[in-house]
Chain A
Amino acid sequence: MGLGLTAAGACCVVGGSTGWGLLVARQIRRRPAELGRLAAALEALRTEVEYGRTPLPAALRRSAAGDRGPAGALFCAAAAQLEAGGGASASEAWEAGLGAAQDRSAWSASDVEGLRRLGHALGASDAQDQVRHLRLAVSRLRAAEGEASAVAERQARMWSYLGVLAGVAVVLAVLP
């Protein structure tokens, strides 16, 4: 085997694993920002419910106006489901929204679980109770956001190094 080919292969392996490491790092850095945006959208929804008594389709669209991230996708997909006129319940619509947003988000499984729990209560009770559920969800998200941003920087750096190092390790291991 020619030396050139070996070098090219080694470069590919190192480059690939570096890219993978950077991707994981980016995902880790995204999570706190996305959680923050989601909490802000839920805060807006709480205001719509508490002061405007706005029905969910309009309240969801207004709270997520301008958000192009997963929070916006969740809110808009849920609103669209409710507007379709099939008599969908809020929790069904919220579930559909989660399905649409989950793939493009950096939310962890526990984040999604918390959101799902909120979905079961959404729209189904009086304003006082809705506000209580929304406050609880927001405070959970804020806590998760704080925790995530504390670990994110450290972990992100670690993962980007790990990517490079893993690539080098693989190259060294397979070299004759």
Chain B
Amino acid sequence: MAEGSMRAPGPGARAGVRPGRDDPLDAPLRPERPRSPAAGGADPASAEREVLAYLPPRLRPALAALLPAGPADARWLEVRLRAGGPVGLVTDSGDLWVGAGGPRRLPEDAEVCTPEDVDRAVQAVTQASVYAWEEELAQAFCTLPGGHRAGLAGRARRRAGRLCGQKAFTSVNVRLARAVPGAADGVARALAGCDPAVPASVLLFGPPGSGKTTVLRDLLRQWSAGRPDLGLPPRRVGLVDERSEVAACADGRPQFDLGPRTDVLDGWPKAEGMLALIRAMGPQVVACDELGGPGDAAATAEAGRCGVAVVATAHAASVADLLRRPSLRAVLRTGVFGLAVRLGSDRRVAEVAQLAPAARRALARPPGRPPEGSAGGAAGRAPAPERGGGPWAWG
């Protein structure tokens, strides 16, 4: 199936989507991205340069001096601006402070970010149009072209007691999105080594910044293209990209390589999008980022009933955390996920949990009834993760 994309009709199209994204008129703000992953490797600082265009002009020279020049240099993960605070950079080889002449060890020596700098960054991110980003500001982040995410922190703006946006911004945090071919190799190997009786649905979880979205992006690419070396056949993949971060669609086309058999629903709410994909595109795998909203469990269960595998990410530091979150617990209770993969720092696979059929049955039990097996109270409280026994078999 050819790569394609559909956009949400009506007001649904607004959710998480940069308005007017497919308008050729606002092209000047949008640097052309290389479409192929091979071309993406040509400039080691392409993602950094894209983000630099949204940072205050006063700080750009100091930041530009820290652009990675070669593959060995530290790549940016986040740029942090705080009004009255030092300018910070999170790289894949550690945190550093940005000084006028280069990196600084101590925050006191770093360039100080003024409230005006923060304001300039907010204006650039929102294109000086607060009205176009009300929903996003209420959720405290905007997605930039290229899939980068700008977190914005300020004072709440309320209307009739309801949060409807923000004003007086004090912090901006830009998280860079980039394609990392091979990031999902560990997950692909875990999938290949999986019991064929276990559904191939995968839940990727980890703390913030562990690379869940990057791994998901690469896993979709690998699955869509197939990994014959691991015995993974190619699959038709459908992606619900609610926040436009995984595919980073611009002008209706994914900016990241997602493989030859991937269809993207850009900006759709996850639950509706999953069902629409199953109805419309006949996927073998549906994927979405940051599962755990209302209705996600029902959509996951429906996908499972249709024989479609689900790949999703979730915020959780451990399996116990995963089960402690009621919405995720409901998702796991559907019994659809056969594999839970915890990501540690730097996108490495920290642990792989095969959710054996017994565990899924235990989770599916209504709360209160003691399950069989040794983990004790899997449905009533979070089981302590243990290796090689109980309903969680650790691989």
Could you say which of A58, A59, A86 contacts B57, with CB atoms under 8 Å apart? A86
| Interface size of A as a range | 20 to 34
* B338 proximal to A (CB < 8 A): no
Does B333 reach chain A (CB closer than 8 Å)?
no
Is A82 engaged at the interface, CB distance under 8 Å to the other chain?
yes
Q: Mark A111-131, 1 if CB is under 8 A from B, else 0.
A: 000000000000111110110
Contact B129 A83 (CB under 8 A): no
The answer on a CB contact under 8 Å between B29 and A57 is yes
Q: When the two chains form their complex, are residues A53 and B131 in contact, meaning their CB atoms are under 8 A apart? A: yes
- Does B119 belong to the interface (CB within 8 Å)? yes
CA separation between A125 and B123, bound complex, in Å? 12
* Contact indicator per residue, chain A 73-92, by CB within 8 Å of chain B (1) or not (0): 00000000011011111100
A71 near B: Cβ within 8 Å?
no
Given the complex, which residues of A lie within 8 Å of B306, measured CB to CB?
none
Give the B interface residue count (CB, 8 A).
32
Within 8 A of A (CB), among B118-158: 119-124, 126-134, 157
| Tally of A-B Cβ pairs under 8 angstroms | 92
B196 at the interface (CB under 8 A from A): no
Taking the nearest CB of chain B, how far is it from the CB of A128, in angstroms? 8
Q: Would B165 and A126 count as touching, CB distance under 8 A? A: yes
Partner of A52, one of B20, B28, B123: B20
Q: Which of B56, B119, B129, B164 has the most CB of A within 10 A?
A: B129
Among A55, A58, A83, residue most surrounded by chain B Cβ atoms (within 10 Å): A55
Give the residue of A49, A54, A56, A127 whose beta carbon is less than 8 angstroms from that of B128.
Answer: A56
Cα distance, A88 to B53, chains bound together (Å): 12
Evaluate whether A124 and B130 lie within 8 angstroms (CB atoms) in the complex, with A52-B19, A52-B20 already known.
Answer: yes
Asked if A164 is at the interface of the complex by the 8 Å CB criterion, the answer is no
Most buried by A among B18, B57, B159: B57
CA distance A157 to B384 in the complex (A): 93
Contacts of B123 in A (CB 8 A): 87-90
Are A83 and B128 neighbours in the complex by a CB distance under 8 Å? Answer: no
Q: Which residues from B are CB-within-8-Å of A89?
A: 119, 123, 128
B129 A126 Cβ-Cβ under 8 A: no
B23 contacts partner chain A, Cβ-Cβ < 8 Å = yes
Tell me the minimal C-beta distance from B148 to chain A in angstroms.
14
What is the CB-to-nearest-CB distance from A54 to chain B, in angstroms, rounded to a whole number?
Answer: 4
Q: Interface code B1-37, partner A: CB below 8 Å = 1, 0 otherwise?
A: 0000000000000100011100101101100000000
Residue interface bits B148-184, CB-to-A below 8 A is 1, else 0: 0000000001010000110000000000000000000
Query: In the complex, A11→B167 CA distance in Å?
Result: 66
Q: Chain A's interface: helix, strand, loop or mixed, by majority?
A: helix
**Beta-carbon contact of A85 and B26 below 8 Å:** no
**Contacts A58-B23, A89-B119; is A53 near B126 (CB within 8 Å)?**
no
A93 vs B129: C-alpha distance when bound (angstroms): 12
Instruction: Assess the B134–A55 pair: CB atoms within 8 A.
Output: no
Beta-carbon contacts of B69-96 to A below 8 Å, as 1s and 0s?
Answer: 0000000000000000000000000000
Q: Whole-angstrom distance between the alpha carbons of A53 and B122 in the complex?
A: 17
Q: Within 8 Å CB of B122, what residues of A?
A: 87
The answer to whether A127 touches B56 (Cβ under 8 A) is no
Chain A residues with CB under 8 Å of B130's CB are 123-126
A58 touches B25 (CB 8 A): yes
* Interface residue A30 (Cβ < 8 Å from any Cβ of B): no
A44-73: which have CB < 8 Å to B? 49, 52-59, 61-62
Please determine whether B20 and A54 come into contact, CB atoms closer than 8 angstroms: yes
A127 to B159, CA, bound (A): 13
Closest approach, in angstroms, between the C-beta of A148 and any C-beta of chain B?
31
Cross-interface CB contact of B25 among A52, A62, A86, cutoff 8 Å:
A62
B128 touches A61 (CB 8 A): no
Q: Which residues of B contact A (CB under 8 A)?
A: 14, 18-20, 23, 25-26, 28-29, 53-54, 56-57, 119-124, 126-134, 157, 159, 164-165
15 A-B pairs in the complex with CB atoms less than 8 angstroms apart: A52-B20, A53-B14, A53-B19, A53-B131, A56-B129, A59-B20, A59-B129, A85-B54, A85-B124, A87-B56, A89-B123, A89-B128, A123-B130, A126-B157, A126-B159
Pairs of residues from A and B, 10 with the lowest C-beta to C-beta distance, nearest first:
A87-B120, A55-B127, A90-B128, A55-B129, A127-B131, A87-B124, A58-B26, A83-B28, A54-B20, A58-B20
